[in-house]
């Protein structure tokens, strides 16, 4: 399928026809010479990086608590994290649309507390998209990290504390390096999901907030430009692969 996609991207596009067989890089030249498409790519990478970083920052402490807790309510906590995965992305995004609206829960709460006097413009912003994607991807990060942390011997942490290491030092010098496989898996998974997100950017970002996922869909389904759609898809896949490998190497070098 990848080879077919790449071959499609080298064809020519003639309005009114699906595609014309050719061997041309015009579709790639069009993408990389048009500021609009470069801005879409940069926006997608920026959103994906932000979502991945926040998923790691929020997910690691939560995964640690779940992995180390002995409470009989542990299964309920795990279910509370897994439960959103049973709801489709579009349905979850619709819920955020209600919360972020001018008369939604967020604005109503802030105005009721006297924090703001006018509703905030949250819908159709990058902030709304980032929050929506974090909510979608966070369970994947938590569950991935939890399984790895549960496999780390508690005695290692206790030994670090007995030697006088404060909690942050223990986490940075002991826990993070041992949990590195889970960190890498969680980062890769959440980054790929964020780079290829479709429903959340469309519903929370609106028509003016273009990312690569919706751009691929509109190019194929609405413009019927299969060669350029193939080029955009291949560029998205290549960018995701390159950035995933780069982040993995960076994390390995930092905590190895």
The answer to whether 27 and 227 are in contact (CB under 8 A) is: yes
- Total domains in the fold of the chain: 1
Identify whether 48 is part of a domain. yes
List, in order, residues 6 or more apart from 145 with CB less than 8 Å away: 59, 60, 63, 64, 67, 179, 182, 183, 186
Give me 174's structure tokens.
């002991």
* Mean of pLDDT values over 169-174: 86
Distances (CA, A) of 6 to 10, 32, 123, 227, 237: 7, 16, 36, 9, 11
pLDDT over 90 for what percent of the chain?
43
Give me 231's structure tokens.
């080029």
Identify whether 60 is part of a domain. yes
Identify whether 106 is part of a domain. no
Identify whether 173 is part of a domain. yes
For residue range 31-63, list pLDDT tens digits in order: 999 999 999 999 999 999 999 999 999 999 999
- The whole-angstrom separation of Cα 175 and Cα 65 is 13
Place of tokens 């990290």: 145
The domain of 6 spans 2-70+126-255
CATH number for position 140: 1.10.3720.10
For residue range 55-83, list pLDDT tens digits in order: 999 999 999 999 988 877 888 888 888 88
Comparing 7 with 43, which gets the higher pLDDT? 43
pLDDT-based confidence at residue 17 (cuts at 50, 70, 90)? low
List, in order, residues 6 or more apart from 1 with CB less than 8 Å away: none
Identify whether 6 is part of a domain. yes
Identify whether 201 is part of a domain. yes
Identify whether 109 is part of a domain. no
Identify whether 82 is part of a domain. no
């Amino acid at each position: 399928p990848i080879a077919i996609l790449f071959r499609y991207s080298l064809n020519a596009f003639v309005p009114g026809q699906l595609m014309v067989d050719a061997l041309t890089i015009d579709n790639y030249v069009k993408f990389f010479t048009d500021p609009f498409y470069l801005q879409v790519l940069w926006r997608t990478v920026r959103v994906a990086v932000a979502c991945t970083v926040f998923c790691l920052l929020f997910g690691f402490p939560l995964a640690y608590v779940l992995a180390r807790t002995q409470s009989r309510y542990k299964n309920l906590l795990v279910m509370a994290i897994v439960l959103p995965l049973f709801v489709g992305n579009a349905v979850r995004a619709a819920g955020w649309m209600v919360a972020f609206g001018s008369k939604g829960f967020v604005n109503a709460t802030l105005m009721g507390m006297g924090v703001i006097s006018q509703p905030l413009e949250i819908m159709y912003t990058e902030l709304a998209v980032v929050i929506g994607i974090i909510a979608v991807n966070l369970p994947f990060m938590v569950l991935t990290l939890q399984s790895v942390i549960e496999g780390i011997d508690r005695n290692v942490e206790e030994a670090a504390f007995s030697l006088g290491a404060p909690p942050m030092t223990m986490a940075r010098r002991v826990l993070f390096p041992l949990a590195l496989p889970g960190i890498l898996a969680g980062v890769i998974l959440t980054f790929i999901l964020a780079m290829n997100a479709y429903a959340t950017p469309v519903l929370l970002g609106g028509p003016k907030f273009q990312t690569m996922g919706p751009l691929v869909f509109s190019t194929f389904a609405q413009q019927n430009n299969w060669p350029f759609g193939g080029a955009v898809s291949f560029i998205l896949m290549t960018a995701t692969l390159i950035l995933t490998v780069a982040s993995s190497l960076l994390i390995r070098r930092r905590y190895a």
